[in-house]
Amino acid sequence: MAFLTIRDLVLGYDSKAILKPLNFQVQKGDYLCIVGENGSGKSTLIRTILHLQQPISGQVIMGDGLKAKEIGYLPQQTLVQRDFPASVAEVVLSGCQGRTGLRPFYRKEEKEMAYQAMEKMHVMELSKRCYRELSGGQQQRVLLARALCASGKVLLLDEPVSGLDPKVTSEMYALIEDLHRQELTVIMISHDISAALRYATHILHIGTTVHFGTNEEYRNSDVGRAFLQEVGYDG
């Protein structure tokens, strides 16, 4: 059974739909990139999958043993979040809050999970630094480590390289791909179509027209060819 099944899902606000009904599945080990025009509803879809927003109609079904607390989420950063006055270790460890329930403290295994996540994201040497003092790339790696603490199976990433320079962007994509190779399922919103075509196993294009399929199917579809021509992709 699929990790996620999206069935006849209609997204919108105040009962006004912004998209045609969506139907697709995400299997264990997939790397799904969500692409499309600005304002087409990509972030709304992510928030709906996370049950942070209610759909107009349709279903988000979790299967194959997936639980909501096993989904790590890396949202787009706001100015307020960038100025958060906490240490790197505290930010990463806060990703374990979904595991603590009513318990007002972190167990040894949760602290160990945070240390391992910081090691994976190469931020252990920053653990005592104040988060607000870090560069944009360092902050994104810290937030990705935090998402790893919340995730056992699936990562949802909303524009994880937004505002980063090309070198740091490349490093972030490499880190995400390493996580995918370690059998983590990745769902990522991206405006970078070249990265989507390089890394994704599947692509969901949403907008005036909706298309879901494998990377190759998208490249060969009318929707994919039109969009690639529109954005000037020549890869």
Query: DSSP labels for 39-108?
Result: TSSHHHHHHHHTTSS--SEEEEEE-TT--GGGEEEEPPP-HHHHT--SBHHHHHHGGGHHHHTT-SS--H
- What's the pLDDT score for residue 201? 98
Domain total in the chain: 2
Tokens at 30, concatenated: 């997939």
2 lies in some domain:
yes
Phi, psi of 105, rounded to the nearest 5 degrees: -150, 165
The verdict on 169 and 145 lying in the same domain is: no
- What's the pLDDT score for residue 99? 66
Which range of residues forms the domain containing residue 100?
79-152
53 lies in some domain:
no
Q: Which long-range contacts (CB under 8 A, 24 or more apart) does 225-231 make?
A: 227/35, 227/36, 227/193, 228/193, 231/193
Is residue 95 a contact partner of residue 145, using CB atoms and an 8 Å limit? yes
The verdict on 168 and 211 lying in the same domain is: yes
- Residue 11 backbone class (left: φ over 0; alpha: ψ -120 to 50; beta: rest): beta
pTM: 0.90
Of 106, 124, 152, the one marking the end of a domain is: 152
Is residue 46 a contact partner of residue 26, using CB atoms and an 8 Å limit? no
Is residue 10 a contact partner of residue 21, using CB atoms and an 8 Å limit? yes
- What's the pLDDT score for residue 41? 87
Of 121, 152, 183, the one marking the end of a domain is: 152
Is residue 2 a contact partner of residue 27, using CB atoms and an 8 Å limit? yes
Of 104, 132, 152, the one marking the end of a domain is: 152
The verdict on 142 and 158 lying in the same domain is: no
The verdict on 105 and 119 lying in the same domain is: yes
Closest by CA to 96, choosing from 53, 139, 145, 134, is 145
How many CB atoms are closer than 10 A to CB 220? 11
The verdict on 177 and 128 lying in the same domain is: no
- What's the pLDDT score for residue 30? 97
- What's the pLDDT score for residue 105? 72
Distance CA 94, CA 118 (A): 13
In this prediction, the residues of the chain whose per-residue pLDDT falls under 70 are 78-81, 98-103
How many CB atoms are closer than 10 A to CB 182? 8
* CATH number of the domain where residue 215 is located: 3.40.50.300
